[in-house]
Amino acid sequence: MTRAFLALLAVTALPVQAHHSFAAEFDANKPARIVGKITKIEWTNPHSYFYLDVTDSKGNVTNWACETGNPGALSRRGWKRGDIKLGDKLIVDGYLAKDGSHFIDARRVTLPDGRTVYGGSPGDGGPGDKPTGEKPTGEKPVGK
């Protein structure tokens, strides 16, 4: 009986991973690109968010939430908090939320100065994620 309790403890202690995994929210089979103007920036832990007003071909504007890694991870990739500001145009390549909302995991972000940064959360297991120390894939510049 005691062993069962110890086993229970061991099992509950196991799932110590990166903050929520890619698969918890997003669908790797739904890649998408959105282009829009920044309306809000949340440079926050454990994930950062920014919001884009995206205008479709009919002129309808939809506000999209984009999720990226935490400020430390983005900063180490060269994306500093001052690099984007409200009104800037961003190109976001990523994967849509499973629930169909206007929510995208931004794996690759083209900044206003033309640089392309990997936006994924470290260790989330999503497309392009690599073990610690390896350079993430998907960091090639986006074709113009």
In 10 A of CB 82, how many CB atoms?
7
Rounded least distance, CB 130 to another protein, Å: 19
The site that binds another protein (CB under 8 A) totals a number of residues, namely 28
Residue 82 binds another protein, judged by CB under 8 A: no
19 lies in the site for another protein, by CB under 8 A: yes
Q: Report in angstroms the alpha-carbon separations of 113 from 6, 19, 30, 35, 65.
A: 55, 30, 27, 15, 21
Sign of the dihedral defined by the CA atoms of residues 15, 21, 26, 27, in that order: negative
Of the residues 72, 100, 131, 143, which one makes contact with another protein according to CB under 8 A:
72
Contact criterion met (CB below 8 Å) for 105 and 95: yes
Is 63 a residue that touches another protein (CB under 8 A)?
no
C-alpha to C-alpha distance for 141 and 144, rounded to whole angstroms: 9
Q: Angle CA(94)–CA(91)–CA(47) in degrees, nearest 5? A: 55
User: CB-wise, 117 or 137, nearer to another protein?
Assistant: 117
- Cβ 90 vs Cβ 84: under 8 Å: yes
Residue 144 found at the interface with another protein (CB under 8 A)? no
**Residue 28 and residue 98: Cα distance in Å, rounded?**
9
Which is nearer to another protein, 11 or 57 (by Cβ)?
11
Q: Judged by CB under 8 A, does residue 111 bind another protein? A: no
Residue from 39, 75, 116, 137 in contact with another protein (CB under 8 A)? 75
Regarding 100 and contact with another protein (CB under 8 A), the answer is: no
Per CB under 8 A, residues contacting another protein are 1-3, 5-6, 8-9, 12-13, 15-16, 19-20, 24, 42-47, 49, 65, 67, 70-72, 75, 81
